[in-house]
């Protein structure tokens, strides 16, 4: 079955960096777009970045976050630099097959100011 497992979250000071990873299994990884979402307490879920034929970023993270993928390892990486306190959230990766969406369990990122 499809599984997405995130890792790499943690506590970091503002201005610091973290690299999140998403390990995928159970489907043909290379042919599907991968996306990262985040949800902060009391806020709506937000699309952070997506990678497929091209890579797209939310305006709030452009220039500081870099999304990449390794198709051979079935991994997606979200490098987050110059983190700000508003980046505090649970970060999840997801893949969508038509009308079906699969989510990972998420990884907590906490940025202290």
Residue 53 confidence (pLDDT): 87
Q: How far apart are CA 31 and CA 90, in angstroms?
A: 26
* Spatial distance between the Cα atoms of 113 and 106, rounded to a whole number of angstroms: 22
Locus of tokens 């989510």: 103
What's the confidence (pLDDT) of residue 58? 97
Could you tell me the mean pLDDT of each successive run of 10 residues in the chain, 113 residues long? Answer: 97 98 94 96 96 95 97 97 97 94 97 94
Planar angle of CA 24, 21, 111, nearest 5 degrees: 145
Number of Cβ within a 10 Å radius of residue 56: 14
Which residues, other chains included, contact 14 with Cβ-Cβ below 8 Å and sequence gap of 6+? 83, 84, 85, 111, 112, 113
């Amino acid at each position: 079955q499809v599984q997405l497992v995130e890792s790499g979250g943690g506590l970091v000071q503002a201005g610091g960096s973290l690299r999140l990873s998403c390990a995928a299994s159970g489907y043909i990884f290379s042919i599907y777009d991968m996306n990262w979402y985040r949800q902060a307490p009391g806020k709506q879920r937000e699309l952070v970045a997506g990678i497929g034929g091209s890579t797209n970023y939310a305006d709030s993270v452009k220039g500081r976050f870099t999304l990449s993928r390794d198709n051979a390892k079935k991994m997606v990486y979200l490098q987050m630099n110059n983190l700000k306190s508003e980046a505090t959230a649970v970060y999840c990766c997801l893949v969508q097959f038509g009308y079906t969406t699969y989510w990972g369990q998420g990884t907590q990122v906490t940025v202290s100011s």
